[in-house]
Amino acid sequence: MMFGKRETRVIEKLEEHLKLTGSLLELLKDLVRSAFEKDWRKVKEYMEEAHSIEHTADVVRREMEGVLYSGAFLPNFRADLLNLVESLDKITNIGETITHQFALEKIEIPPQLVDKFLRQVELGIETFKTLKDSILSIFEDLEKAAELVKEVELKEHEEDKLELELIEEIFSLDIDLARKLQLKQVVLNLGDISDLSEDCSDMVEIIVFKRRV
């Protein structure tokens, strides 16, 4: 598809925003490992790096919204893109929130759960990456975008199943209730990465449907 200068600018900024969010989420793998090793200095460094990425993503988002408000794309598509961008920002924010939680609360992960925590992070990243591909496909290949939306849903269901398993295991541990509740909140926040990605994919599905008509 051929686009004008403003439309091309929006797509470039959207790609940049998605890349920044992806890099923030990737930090979570190392953050979880460092928390398990009780390397709180490193955990704090990851929190600070996440804050820097989130700030840059905010700047990019505002620039993108400015170009959209200046008249890029037709009104209906423009409104859908604005809503999608706002929803994407929630994924960036939850990623940063998780780094705050680990750094400020010094979350200690029980040894028997660390592999599942890492797997949950990985599933969140995989779900987001599939969402990212589906979003970029709406400008190039609507059929591919529709297929990727279905993949996002499947990955979210897989993550949801692991989330429930983790919570059940947490409450079977011989640790105090306060720590169980703390760990449960971490699991729920990590689960939000996939949940919010699916919310965005629902919006992509609507965009695909409208653009097909």
CATH number at residue 173: 1.20.58.220
Chain segment 167-213, per-residue pLDDT in tens? 999 999 999 999 999 999 999 999 999 999 999 999 999 999 998 77
Q: How many domains, in total, are found in the chain?
A: 1
Whats the size of the chain, residue-wise?
A: 213
Rounded to whole angstroms, how far apart are CA atoms 197 and 134? 11
Helices (H) and strands (E) in the chain, counts: 6, 0
Nearest alpha carbon to residue 155 among 138, 130, 137, 133: 130
Nearest alpha carbon to residue 142 among 68, 205, 73: 205
Domain that holds residue 15: 5-212
Question: 44-59 burial, b if ≥16 CB within 10 A, otherwise e?
Answer: bbbbebbeebbebbee
pLDDT > 80? residue 140: yes
Confidence bin at 2 (pLDDT 50/70/90): low
Residue type, 178: A
Q: What is the pLDDT of residue 211?
A: 86
Confidence bin at 1 (pLDDT 50/70/90): low
